[in-house]
């Protein structure tokens, strides 16, 4: 494989920003929006709540002159965990919301306790009844909120509380806030609407609430996880791939780990060139909140480490069941042992093609990466997981020279 790949907009940013567009009754234009299933699901949800939508190419136009419903139903929310972002937006704009407890990938418990803690601090009465989160507030009020959880910060809780706090009179201070680029992107979007927010990207975000929000034209950041996945594709196949429309700063932990492995990575302003090498080294990977090594890249680097001589380890500190790809990789000949939150990986010379099954979004990418270097044919089933977060993934790989095609089951 060789060539150039253009990275789509960040799926995780797009989902929360689309939900955030409910906060204003003025038109919003979003650029660089990835056309993936999760985005389509979020668009369907806000349409159900009252938004008028036009989605063409990577441009999404949203206008919500009036919220027509305050209930986000199970049939939509069960398909994607990020649906719960409408909770913060509905609370901010309407002071009430009914949102089904979310679904998404089966990668372990992801409780909503920090979300509820934050909403209560803003003056909201929150109950969980019949599988729904019921949130009501006569009047939101700014507050000091600590979102430190048992496993560190929470991106979802930080964004959800931020959305509600924008409409809460007074000053809200979110301590132990997540620092991920997607949080900064949401704050940037809200600022473009007229919100008064400082500190995004640090552990403390300050919001001076109740500002009148306007419309905006806003460009979503590139998807760092898609960029990282193609970087792994170059490393595992020993190829040279130029990755365009990305922010290398957002990928610092992944780039550092690839260089430690022995992969050549050349960085410029919005471009990364990754050159795989024949002699690579085992490493230890510690998954942690940003700026640490991202949990959304753990499955992909496991595929790479499975064909690097020597013993590597991955310690997953965020999600309990996020080694689900390991069993499928072993079906392809990988030598992987799971001990609690740590994977022990002994690199093998070759992987073999096999029938495997994707369990979640990033696991599906991991199996495809492994298939690129496996001898023989690999068939990855339940590929709908991939479509939730990667835009035209197999087409982009095919342009780089991969022998890959999609078939109906």
- By annotation, the residues acting in catalysis are 105
Cα–Cα distance measured from residue 144 to residue 34, given in angstroms and rounded to the nearest whole number: 35
DSSP assignment letter at 321: T
Residue 39: which of 389, 395, 393 has the closest Cα? 389
Element (H, E) at 364: helix 361-373
DSSP assignment letter at 375: B
Specify whether the CB–CB gap between 9 and 189 falls below 8 A: no
Q: Determine how many CB atoms are found less than 10 A away from the CB of residue 384.
A: 11
CA distances from 140 to 99, 185, 267, 372 (A): 18, 24, 45, 52
Q: Alpha helix (H) ranges present in 53-145?
A: 74-77, 85-94, 113-121
Specify whether the CB–CB gap between 166 and 206 falls below 8 A: no
Cα–Cα distance measured from residue 81 to residue 223, given in angstroms and rounded to the nearest whole number: 18
| β-strand pairing of 171-175 with 144-146 | parallel
């Amino acid at each position: 494989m060789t060539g150039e790949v253009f990275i789509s907009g960040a799926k995780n940013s797009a989902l929360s920003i689309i939900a955030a567009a409910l906060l204003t009754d003025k038109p919003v234009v979003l650029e660089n929006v990835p056309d993936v299933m999760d985005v389509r699901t979020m668009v369907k949800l806000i349409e159900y709540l009252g938004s008028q939508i036009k989605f063409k190419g990577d441009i999404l136009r949203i206008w919500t002159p009036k919220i027509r419903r305050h209930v986000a139903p199970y049939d939509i929310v069960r398909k994607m965990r990020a649906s719960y972002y409408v909770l913060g937006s509905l609370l901010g704009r309407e002071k009430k919301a009914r949102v089904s407890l979310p679904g998404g990938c089966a990668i372990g418990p992801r409780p909503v306790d920090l979300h509820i803690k934050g909403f209560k601090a803003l003056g909201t009465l929150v109950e969980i009844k019949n599988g729904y989160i019921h949130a009501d507030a006569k009047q939101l009020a700014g507050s000091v909120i600590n979102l430190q959880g048992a496993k560190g910060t929470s991106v979802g809780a930080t964004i959800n509380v931020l959305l509600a706090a924008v409409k809460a009179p007074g000053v809200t201070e979110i301590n132990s806030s997540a620092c991920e680029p997607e949080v900064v992107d949401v704050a940037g979007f809200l600022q473009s609407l007229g919100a008064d927010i400082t500190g995004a990207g640090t552990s403390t975000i300050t919001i001076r609430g109740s500002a009148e929000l306007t419309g905006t034209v806003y460009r979503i950041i590139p998807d760092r996880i898609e960029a990282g996945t193609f970087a792994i594709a170059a490393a595992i196949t020993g190829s040279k791939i130029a990755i365009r429309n990305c922010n290398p700063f957002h990928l610092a932990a992944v780039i550092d780990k690839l260089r430690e492995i022995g992969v050549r990575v050349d960085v410029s302003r919005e471009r990364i060139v990754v050159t795989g090498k024949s002699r690579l080294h085992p490493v230890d990977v510690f998954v942690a909140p940003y700026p640490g090594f991202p949990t959304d890249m753990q499955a992909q680097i496991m595929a790479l480490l499975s064909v690097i001589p020597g013993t590597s380890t991955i310690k997953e500190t965020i999600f309990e069941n996020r080694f689900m790809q390991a069993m499928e990789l072993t079906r392809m000949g990988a030598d992987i042992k799971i001990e609690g939150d740590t994977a022990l990986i002994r690199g093998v010379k070759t992987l073999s093609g096999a029938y495997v099954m994707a369990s979640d979004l990033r696991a599906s990418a991991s199996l495809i990466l492994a298939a690129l270097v496996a001898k023989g044919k690999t068939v990855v089933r339940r590929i709908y997981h991939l479509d939730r977060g990667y835009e035209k993934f197999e087409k982009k790989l095919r342009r780089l020279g991969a022998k890959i095609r999609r078939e109906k089951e």
